[in-house]
Chains A and B, each alone.
Chain A
Amino acid sequence: MVEWSDFERSTIQNIFANMDYDVVGPKALARCLVVYPWTQRYFGNFGNLYNAAAIMGNPMVANHGKVVLHGLDRAVKNMDNIKATYAELSVLHSEKLHVDPDNFRLLADCLSIVVAAQMGTAFTADVQAAFQKFLAVVVSSLGRQYH
């Protein structure tokens, strides 16, 4: 089981309590599709993804970014049992969506970068460590049920 310090728990709760989901979600997913273009393979029906501007202005991308970010809420509320919390979602991503689990890591990296831009210097080294640890657990849990 993952051990969380008090600092890590409160940091994660704070980040998500103060997060503007409607801004961060779209930005993170759009950034992922721009920086790692092969991730576009999962969004064939999202319309125009031909260049960075199109991706960043695409309303389907924006919407899906919000969905994915809200998907993290369950982990935030169940930090002591993220693996079990995401078992079903892991099966979904594996069996129905057929997403290579490495993509979870790529999106997590983009999310860290967007949150860093939002928080500025408040995103200290310790906060970064806590946030990336949380995301690493989420990423691992989402990949857990693949076989």
Chain B
Amino acid sequence: MSLTEKEKTVVRDFFGKIVARSDDIGTESLTRLLVVYPQTKSYFDHWKETTPYSAPVRKHGINVMGGIYEAVGKLDDLKGGLLTLSELHAFMLRVDPVNFKLFTNCILVVLSMLFPDDFTPQVHLAVDKFMALLALALAEKYR
């Protein structure tokens, strides 16, 4: 599966449209990951707290969204463009790739919640494909 040119445009346009709320989206998505899938908290033992909307969650949610926007800018070559991030996740963070799917679920719910009129089925399809390809690119250097 790969993104068609049309789908790339849909992804760029949609993420461009919602960029002003990207910090909220990141915070909301990460908060939900930790609440809906509590096992993900295991990656954050070193934080002071993992409570919804707390400072460390907000800071890291914004960080993750930054990575997603970086990927939006590299749609024509996700694997190549995200090599460094992949190495980070593979060798340092060692996040089990199953969690990328869980995070995708959370971000899709947040996008639907915050932009019910813009997150049409067609946009949902393109974004879901993008997130799946992003996850694959991140897992590239794992083994």
Whether A associates with B in a native complex is: yes
Q: Which among B36, B52, B122 is the interface contact of A52 at CB below 8 angstroms?
A: B122
SS of B interface (majority) = helix
**Shortest Cβ distance from A106 into chain B, in angstroms?**
10
B31 & A35 in contact (Cβ 8 Å cutoff) = no
B128 & A129 in contact (Cβ 8 Å cutoff) = no
Q: Would you call A66 an interface residue if the criterion is a C-beta within 8 Å of the partner chain's C-beta atoms? A: no
Q: Which residues in A have some Cβ–Cβ distance to B below 8 Å?
A: 30-31, 34-35, 52, 55-56, 109, 112-114, 116-121, 123, 125-126, 128-129, 132
Q: Which residues in B have some Cβ–Cβ distance to A below 8 Å?
A: 31-32, 35-36, 52, 105, 108-110, 112-113, 116, 119-122, 124-125, 128
Q: Can you add 17 more A-B contacts, CB < 8 Å, to A34-B125, A112-B109, A113-B109?
A: A34-B121, A52-B125, A56-B121, A109-B108, A113-B108, A113-B119, A114-B112, A116-B110, A116-B112, A117-B113, A118-B116, A120-B113, A123-B113, A125-B35, A126-B35, A128-B32, A129-B32
